[in-house]
Amino acid sequence: MITRENELLVLVIAPSGRDGAMICNLLTGNGIACIPSTISDIARTELNAGVGAVILAEEALGISEIAILAAHVSEQPTWADLPLLVLTLAGAVSAGNLRKALARQPLGNLVLLERPIRPETLVSAVQGALRSRRRQYLVRGLMAERHVAEQALRKAEKLAVAARLASSFSHEINNPLASVTNLLYLIGVSSSLRETQNYARVAAQELARLSEIVTQNLRFHKESSKPVAVQVSQIVNAALDLYKARLAAAEILIERDFRECPLIFGVAGELRHLILNLIANALDAIGRGGTMKIRIAGAREHSNGSRLGARITIGDTGSGICPEIRNSLFEPFVSTKGDTGTGLGLWVSSEIVRRHRGTIRVMSRAHPPFTGTVFSVFLPSHPNWTPVHPSGAVHDYQSETMQLIG
Ligand SMILES: Nc1ncnc2c1ncn2[C@@H]1O[C@H](COP(=O)(O)OP(=O)(O)OP(=O)(O)O)[C@@H](O)[C@H]1O
Ligand SMILES: [Mg+2]
């Protein structure tokens, strides 16, 4: 990776101009770019671009200078750890020295070099420091690349969400539209007023259904992305409503087991999306004539400090998860559905669960005669909501587990 101009520049801070000039001459002679500097120069410099390492004479580092430097160093980006080389004065350990050593602790990546120091020792220490700085720049590059890739995935995720909502919306409005068309035809050919009135009444009911579906879809898009208190059963019922026609057409039986459950503090639109994804997958796996069982219950999650929350379990009597994808199930673009699946559903779902600091687990059996899958999502009531860093850098809890039986 090519580093930016001056990124390997060494700043030399020595109160005696002669020391500073000598060190600079030595380093320049060994091909290392360096300039004499001061603590206030460093405080003005962006530590993520422009400094390779800093050499400081101990006498330039009083308690107040240490405080300035420590404040600046603490603001470094996560990948950065600026190397500081401190040239100490020779002599016995004094109380003052010990105090300074303690005060220097927040400076992080600090190496003490005792004077008098041999020129080649200083050069090799600086080269080592710059090597570690180059590695930091490499990590910065990788983080930037990862961020770009994640942005692209996020965009793809949004498109997939829109496509999924659009197709489920089209599917839902198709049935009432077809009925209204038929009823209008029947009204046109009917000779009896009573019959005509009957057709008109049913057509009005179908139109009311249409308007309900449209309103619900509009609400999806208008919903705020801020976390609010959410009743999980409402979310599940709204999601099931959206699949009402498809469930009926495929003769799939829904068993609801909704128990007492605390409110969840979360983003309603995201949670609805999560449930829609899991239900859609269960429907695809069942095909025709099976059962989907949805249980909601208050629960404690023992693996993470006995947090209180809700457990949503969606079980289906479908085909079971095919073993080839079991290890990559929650990764993007993993699908067995060819052109009809983007393979983003479970990845998006696990991201939503992760943002809500919950867990998602799955058990599945793909060997006949008994096949099926159970997804179990735990959502804590109070997830101590903190905005997740755009790079998704929150990894302090488990997001997925997979158990395959048979
Ligand atoms: N309940 C389930 N039963 C069986 N297989 C499942 C189930 N849920 C998920 N899968 C498998 O996991 C794969 C990935 O699911 P995912 O939801 O991520 O993508 P998809 O459903 O293929 O596409 P889409 O992006 O449209 O959701 C599916 O293709 C399917 O093979
Ligand atoms: Mg899916």
- Mapped to the 3 state alphabet, what secondary structure does 196-247 carry? HHHHHHHHHHHHHHHHHHHHHHHHHHHCCCCCEEECHHHHHHHHHHHCHHHH
Report which ligand 1 atom has the smallest distance to the Cα of 316. 1
pLDDT of residue 392: 36
Q: Can you give the pLDDT of all 406 residues of the chain as single tens digits? A: 444 567 899 999 887 767 888 999 999 999 999 988 887 777 676 665 668 999 999 888 888 888 888 888 888 888 999 999 999 877 666 667 767 777 777 788 889 998 888 999 999 999 999 999 999 999 999 999 999 998 998 888 778 767 766 766 776 677 778 889 988 999 999 999 999 998 899 889 889 878 877 887 677 666 656 788 999 999 999 888 878 878 888 999 999 999 999 999 998 878 888 998 899 999 999 999 999 999 999 998 867 667 899 999 999 999 999 999 999 999 888 999 988 788 888 988 888 898 898 999 999 999 988 899 999 999 999 876 544 433 333 333 333 444 444 3
Atom of ligand 1 nearest to the CA of 319: 4
Domain extents for the chain?
10-147, 223-404
Residue 403 has a pLDDT of 47
- Fold matches, 10-147 and 223-404: no
The H or E element spanning position 264 is strand 264-266
Q: Which residue's entry shows tokens 């070099």? A: 113
Nearest one of 188, 197, 204, 294 to 243, comparing CA atoms: 294
Considering only CA atoms, which of 401, 400, 388 is closest in space to residue 356? 388
Which residue's CA lies nearest to atom 29 of ligand 1?
335
Residues 6+ apart with CB under 8 A from 87: 14, 55, 56, 57, 58, 113, 114, 115, 117
Atom of ligand 1 nearest to the CA of 366: 4
Q: In testing the pocket of ligand 1, which one of 337, 373, 403 has its CB within 8 Å of the most ligand atoms?
A: 337
| Pocket flag, ligand 1, residue 321 (CB < 6 Å) | yes
Q: Tokens 């997830």 label which residue?
A: 383
Q: Which residue has the CA at smallest separation from atom 1 of ligand 1?
A: 282
Q: In what order do the strands lie in the sheet containing 34-36?
A: 34-36, 10-13, 53-57, 84-88, 110-114
pLDDT of residue 92: 60
Q: What is the pLDDT of residue 388?
A: 43
Strand partners, 308: 300
Which pLDDT value is given to residue 313?
97
Q: Is the CB of 346 under 6 A from ligand 1?
A: yes
Rounded to 5 degrees, φ, ψ at 29 are -60, -20
CATH of 223-404 among 3.30.200.20, 1.10.260.40, 3.30.565.10, 3.30.365.10: 3.30.565.10
Please report the pLDDT score of residue 279 as a whole number. Answer: 94
- At the top level of CATH, the class of 10-147 is alpha beta
318 CB under 6 A from ligand 1? yes
Give the distance (Å) from ligand 1 centre to CA of residue 382: 29
**Ligand 1 pocket member 343 (CB < 6 A):** yes
Q: Which pLDDT score, from 0 to 100, does residue 390 have?
A: 36
- Determine which residue's CA is closest to atom 9 belonging to ligand 1: 281
Q: Indicate the top mutation candidate among 158, 333, 346 to test ligand 1's pocket, ranked by most ligand atoms within 8 A of CB.
A: 346
How many Cβ atoms are within 10 Å of 299's Cβ, its own excluded? 20
Helix or strand run (H / E) with residue 293? strand 291-301
Which tokens sit at 89?
Answer: 């004065």
Element (DSSP H or E) covering residue 18:
helix 17-29
pLDDT at 225: 64
> Which among 312, 315, 316, 300 has a CA at the least distance from the CA of 258?
312
